[in-house]
Amino acid sequence: MEEKLKETECKIVEFSAVEDITRGVEAFIYVSSKQVEILRKLAQDCCKYGEEYQASGVMVMGAPLGNARRLTHYYKKISHDVEGQIAEVLKRQLRSKEVANSAECC
């Protein structure tokens, strides 16, 4: 009887730890998602600014036009990287839900 009680207590502690880990992962995913949204918006704004600056840069000669092109390229690259991070966050979110569901089943 005592052995079953100890075994049950161990399972409760393990389940509690899994719940804590799941909550931590979900919080991490939420924060990461918000950061990705912010980065995506920043990249879009910078690309928009760079493209507008390039269009009006025909009248302006020299370094500013080159800077605008470099910024546009740089922020398009950031936008591409953000898309990759979004995919990774979604994968991790799916995995954490699968782990939580399998922990609940056992």
Residue 1's pLDDT is what?
73
Per-residue tens of pLDDT for the chain, all 106 residues: 778 777 777 777 777 777 887 888 888 888 888 888 888 888 888 778 777 766 665 555 556 667 777 878 888 888 788 888 888 888 888 888 787 777 666 5
Structural domains counted in the chain: 1
Q: What is the pTM of this model?
A: 0.45
CA 76 to chain centre: 17
Residue 59's pLDDT is what?
54
- The residue assigned the tokens 């939580």 is 100
Domain around 13: 2-105
Closest CA to 85 of 47, 43, 50: 43
Residue 64's pLDDT is what?
67
CATH (domain of 27): 1.10.287
- The residue assigned the tokens 């080159």 is 66
